[in-house]
Chain A
């Protein structure tokens, strides 16, 4: 009996000890940060901007689309480091800032080109609430604060729309890539692989974009659009890649998921549109007398999507000829991108990494001079194979009948 009583006392004490109320945080005491942006002010201090969700205005459905109020509120403050900006902002917000749902980090062009991004990421990696799978995006021609303040029409939360937009661009265009904190850090620390971060810019007058009227129109005056890939060197933004150069770079790094390209046929420019469905790139690196030799082999599979000139698409020989043209086109793009990168002296392809893997000993000697000396002078060989697997619901175009 005595035992039982002491046992119960023991259990009671344990209950108070084990239940763990110390770290409790209630939902209605939290401010969900959907995106975080970094700017630089005139004094060279960081300005942190926080996009905070107003839960009542996001929840649509029964309340008729979430009401007339903005679904987000944006706060910003300056500080010597990122944590300090958070401290200053949290004084203005009535709730605790909560980062577990942050899925976008925006870095302004100014920070990236003037101060560099090298020292930015420690907080995100170290803090418990942040996810290292958070996306990173640059701004182009605008401040990061302006970008976070623009309201969007499709997704109530602008950060969500930017991420989805980028994802769409990555999956269909082949000129953009999603990149996470993890990826950025990994490429910052390896000298043989510089980061490539997609940028967004604001079309229109940024101030108007913060008003609800903007998204009530069928043609919002202010929009955000993906616009180029930022090229870095030693952590600083040095150049933008666009269009074919951007795609060429992504071809070579095996990042193109789907894209379409036009080839000249029967002397007509952009006569056939080829849609890539699947793509695989392999990089092999060798060192010959300390001179790097890189061979890239690309294999693309796809279909013919649009034809504006008559040609016999039922004939395998024609298709083979088209395949050759496509391969030539892809090869040109890649070579253009590599040439561009060699002038920039920034290895965005990870060729240095490939050398590191194949010649770990020699890499130690050349890695400090890789970007400036070895990469620009390396021999690069590009091999492309393209395959046309299907031609859609029609074989020949009706244009062939028109000609007869």
Chain B
């Protein structure tokens, strides 16, 4: 564990940036017009998951999850589980990196090889993560302001262009409540809310005299970003209709592209690119940091920064190898039952709850 401290506001900002980077994707569109509802339901599930992670943190506020797993499950089993979690974080990082590179490739760089784009982000991230969590958190504070202005001004522009047609959100319950819940629990709960498990690696760095304050900051961040995500999806659908949104890999881009004011405020694709790059950078950095600090803790390596280069390289290679095409990539993330039942559900839901139960009995 490096000697670093971040404050509550910085934690809040990192959580929000982490969550909002998924704003670009068609979240929960399987629920059609009720996509926003399935995001909100997923958010409620996410709040519950966060409370699970938070309770675990309350039992062991000063050590990394990689260490309390060993306390809870015994040295051998705990180490194996911690190692599996590190692999899972590396997989998450590679997934985010791949998404980032693919988006840039589709939008702006049709002939550039994926390797180059991914390597670009890895280089920047490795540099930041090497500097530690404090630097990352301060960078986050700075960019949160940028994101805020982007969001506020684009919302204003969309409203001013008169693009919002509320009728596009009707009929709301076309797919039925069953499908909405299924979407919420198989998709939106896992991405982006379940992915917050990475923050269990960061909680020990938060400088807080009262752990309840951390809970408040976390719940607020998740609630805030969940509402923003649901609202954005509702705007996407009300601007373009459910059909176009469900056929777009990046609906927000099409929404922003339809802004046309007074014949000159138009073609604001750069908005989307900025959100993509800022969001991608923070999400990737946070996950990579979690993986690196976990590895250092598990293998008792004193200098975390030395680990970043090899880990960055592994993630880079993995991101290229994990899928042969973008459709395959998104299919694996969103629609593959195998991925859902072997990684998302056990790592994000089942194991944390199990650990919490064990911790509860151990600390009684």
Is B108 located at the chain interface by the 8 A CB criterion?
yes
Task: Report how far A22 CA is from B109 CA in the complex, Å.
Answer: 8
Is B215 located at the chain interface by the 8 A CB criterion?
no
Decide: A133 near B257, CB < 8 A? Known: A22-B116, A186-B241, A189-B243: yes
Task: Report how far A357 CA is from B241 CA in the complex, Å.
Answer: 13
Q: Place the interface of chain A in its size category.
A: 20 to 34
Report A-chain residues with C-beta under 8 Å of the C-beta of B111.
22-23
Task: Report how far A133 CA is from B243 CA in the complex, Å.
Answer: 16
Q: Place the interface of chain B in its size category.
A: 20 to 34
- Verify B244–A185 contact, CB threshold 8 A: yes
Decide: A132 near B257, CB < 8 A? Known: A17-B116, A182-B240: yes
Report B-chain residues with C-beta under 8 Å of the C-beta of A186.
240-241, 243-244
Residues of B115-145 whose CB lies within 8 A of A: 116-117, 119-120, 123-124
- Verify B258–A17 contact, CB threshold 8 A: no
Identify A133's interface contact among B110, B247, B258, CB under 8 A: B258
Is B106 located at the chain interface by the 8 A CB criterion?
yes
Is A255 located at the chain interface by the 8 A CB criterion?
no
Complex interface bits, B266-289 against A, C-beta within 8 A gives 1, otherwise 0 = 110000000000000000000000
Decide: A132 near B116, CB < 8 A? Known: A23-B109, A23-B111, A357-B171: no
User: Shortest Cβ distance from A100 into chain B, in angstroms?
Assistant: 8
Is A55 located at the chain interface by the 8 A CB criterion?
no
Report B-chain residues with C-beta under 8 Å of the C-beta of A189.
243
The closest CB in chain B to the CB of A100 belongs to: B267
Report A-chain residues with C-beta under 8 Å of the C-beta of B67.
none
- Verify B171–A22 contact, CB threshold 8 A: no
Report A-chain residues with C-beta under 8 Å of the C-beta of B107.
128
Task: Report how far A356 CA is from B173 CA in the complex, Å.
Answer: 12
The closest CB in chain B to the CB of A17 belongs to: B119
Is A20 located at the chain interface by the 8 A CB criterion?
yes
Report A-chain residues with C-beta under 8 Å of the C-beta of B108.
23, 128
Report B-chain residues with C-beta under 8 Å of the C-beta of A132.
244, 254, 257-258
Residues of A1-40 whose CB lies within 8 A of B: 10, 14, 17-18, 20, 22-23
- Verify B123–A182 contact, CB threshold 8 A: no
Is B174 located at the chain interface by the 8 A CB criterion?
yes
Identify A20's interface contact among B112, B167, B170, B173, CB under 8 A: B112
- Verify A131–B110 contact, CB threshold 8 A: no
Interface residues of A (CB under 8 A from B): 10, 14, 17-18, 20, 22-23, 100, 125, 128, 131-133, 182, 185-186, 189-190, 353, 356-358, 360
